[in-house]
Amino acid sequence: MPHQATAIARAAESEFVGRLARFFPEATPVRIPIRLSHDAQADAADQGIPQSWSRLPDTVIEFGTPQEVLFAVSRPLEFGDHVLIESRDASLRVEASVVAVQYHRERTVVAARFLKPVPNWIVKS
């Protein structure tokens, strides 16, 4: 039974991210597992203070565009938050800023835009 519950939760999560993806016409399904970190002191970093990344639970990029990634996470994020996205094989390591958020019961669905261009990131991952 635990496997069935996991599959149902995973399908619901993908559906939530898919709803946000409708606002991004170039979004395509990708399903890339990632490690995610949150910049707990983005304002301090803007003032020249070193960044302080805090690890968030691993997640999966469900949809991507050339400039954005869309995923769900179990911790709340807010518009403008900075995140560090790293693929498990280290082929993708990029900072992004949260540009859209939808809150659901136990998950936050997020769209984050890369801070710098990342050519062919979907192919690299």
In this predicted model, what pLDDT tens digit does every residue of 82-110 receive, in sequence order? 999 999 888 899 999 999 999 988 899 99
What pLDDT sits at residue 8? Answer: 40
Alpha-carbon separation of residue 79 from 5, 31, 125 (angstroms): 31, 23, 25
Low-confidence ranges of the chain (pLDDT < 70): 1-13, 41-50, 123-125
What pLDDT, on a 0 to 100 scale, did the predictor assign at position 106? 83
Q: So what's the architecture of 2-124 in CATH?
A: Beta Barrel (2.40)
Three-class DSSP category at 107? coil
For the chain, which residues make up each domain, given as ranges? 2-124
Predicted pLDDT of residue 105: 84
3-class state of residue 8 by DSSP? helix
pTM as predicted? 0.81
Report angle CA 7, 55, 51 to the nearest 5 degrees. 150
pLDDT of residue 43: 46
- pLDDT at position 117 is 93
